[in-house]
Amino acid sequence: MTREPSVERAIRGVMHWCGLYTRGLPTEVARERCEEILADMADEEIWAAENHIGTRELARSIHWRAIRGAFADVLWRVSWSDMSKGFGLVCAVSWSFTFVVLFAASSSIAIAALTLARVGLASPDSVTAILVLAGVVCGLALVARNLSRWLGVLCLLGAQLLVISRGLPSIARTTTILHLMSTSGSGWTVLQLLMIGGSMLVLGSAALWWSPLSGVARKAAP
């Protein structure tokens, strides 16, 4: 059966959301949940066709049902986390790494955007900022998939290192307080080295955690 693109998009969106909140659960539980919701949407599609409900209205209804149930989905997921104590630590580590990765991505975007706003597109520093933004976008796209997540984290690590080594100094040149900090001795270099070391340690660990070498993480990737 061929579907209208709007309905297809709605169903894919709901399934994507389902995949997201069931990540890290035992495979059977996650599969059954997603399968049940898929069956529900297929039934709604048949019912809509029988009742001459337009495809746009159907797509809107599917989206709206998913949105209204999203909070309950999260609560359901939390209740599962509580039940599966053995899974708790693995899930906690995965979620911590997810938080770190999102923090790294958002801070890189913020600094790159600030650099662009400060130095303008004509400056050589803007190349760094654009590279960082491209790295973050590629990184997040790869992070979105389980199998390529570790590659995405490496992309983000590259962007983060560019931000620390090139982005921050270019902001420092245009910001009075940072300029004073960066020219007042070796503290700035130490701070940069610490940030580089920290990023490599944390994001490197995240990449390892999600790499194909780590079997446990794949079972519990959030």
Residues of this chain that interact with other proteins (CB under 8 A) are 1, 14, 32-33, 35-40, 42-44, 46-47, 61, 64-76
Instruction: Output the smallest distance, CB 100 to other proteins, in A.
Output: 28
- Residue number with CB closer to other proteins (63 or 118): 63
220 contacts 24 by C-beta, under 8 angstroms: yes
CA distance 97 to 194: 19
Instruction: Output the smallest distance, CB 5 to other proteins, in A.
Output: 19
Instruction: Output the smallest distance, CB 21 to other proteins, in A.
Output: 9
- Residue number with CB closer to other proteins (76 or 95): 76
- Residue number with CB closer to other proteins (28 or 186): 28
Instruction: Output the smallest distance, CB 55 to other proteins, in A.
Output: 16
- Residue number with CB closer to other proteins (31 or 145): 31
- Residue number with CB closer to other proteins (58 or 119): 58
Instruction: Output the smallest distance, CB 67 to other proteins, in A.
Output: 7
CA distance 101 to 203: 7
CA distance 209 to 101: 12
Instruction: Output the smallest distance, CB 26 to other proteins, in A.
Output: 14
CA distance 7 to 41: 10
- Residue number with CB closer to other proteins (69 or 169): 69
